């Protein structure tokens, strides 16, 4: 007699596969406790996530636990209790942490639990530090400013030397 998998079990297997794919694709994932959030707050949070290309999902802890086990990622057992939402960032590691941390200042019941950064467990403190890193564009501008600073100083010195020689 052939093994028959129930329809419900097959759906769970498929859901775990989808979660596993999201976890593999994401640069970072922030796990968030959201117990007590109002519909208006949740709507605003989701809109900000979408605007920043962050996928915000409420998933079954049990299924996420299974996906993490299949990927060989540990450290999430305690975080996967109670209500948990997941903010997936596919573009960079910083944006999900920044969006959630910014919203947590306003929405007091929003609490960062921990996260997954480039395939590894990251505690709450690490995620909060990530949230303080400036956006990529700002970092590039700062870097370019650093590169230009010595050059403009050098140009001023050359101009001063040229002025002295003309006098």
Q: Does position 104 have pLDDT exceeding 50, yes or no? A: yes
Per-residue confidence (pLDDT) for residue 33, from 0 to 100 = 94
Which pTM was predicted? 0.78
The model's pLDDT over 108-136, given as tens digits with 9 standing for 90+, comes to 999 999 999 988 999 999 999 988 887 77
Per-residue confidence (pLDDT) for residue 165, from 0 to 100 = 77
Question: How many CB atoms are located within 10 Å of the residue 131 CB?
Answer: 19
The model's pLDDT over 12-71, given as tens digits with 9 standing for 90+, comes to 899 999 999 999 999 999 999 999 999 999 999 999 999 999 999 999 999 999 999 999
**pLDDT grade for 162, boundaries at 50, 70 and 90:** confident
Q: What would the 3-class secondary structure string for the chain be?
A: CCCCCCHHHHHHHHHHHHHHHHHHHCCEEEEEECCCCCHHHHHHHHHHHHHCCEEEEECCHHHHHHHHHHHCCCCCCCCCCCCCEEEEECCCCHHHHHHHHHHHHHCCCCEEEEEEECCEEEEHHHHHHHHCCCCHHHHHHHHHHHHHHHHHHHHHHHHHHHHHHHC
Per-residue confidence (pLDDT) for residue 144, from 0 to 100 = 79
Q: Does position 1 have pLDDT exceeding 70, yes or no? A: no
């Amino acid at each position: 007699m052939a093994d028959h998998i129930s329809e419900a079990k097959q759906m769970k297997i498929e859901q775990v596969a989808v979660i596993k794919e999201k976890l593999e694709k994401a640069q970072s994932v922030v796990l968030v406790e959201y117990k007590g959030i109002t519909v208006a707050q949740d709507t605003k949070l989701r809109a900000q996530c979408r605007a920043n290309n962050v996928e915000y999902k409420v998933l079954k802890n049990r299924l996420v636990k299974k996906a993490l086990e299949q990927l060989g990622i540990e450290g999430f057992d305690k975080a996967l209790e109670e209500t948990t939402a997941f903010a997936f960032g596919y573009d960079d590691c910083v944006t999900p942490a920044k969006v959630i941390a910014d919203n947590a200042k306003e929405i007091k019941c929003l609490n960062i639990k921990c996260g997954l950064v480039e395939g590894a467990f990251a505690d709450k403190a690490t995620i909060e530090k990530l949230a303080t890193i400036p956006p990529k564009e700002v970092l590039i501008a700062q870097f370019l400013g650093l590169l230009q600073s010595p050059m403009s100083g050098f140009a001023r010195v050359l101009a001063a030397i040229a002025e002295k020689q003309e006098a």
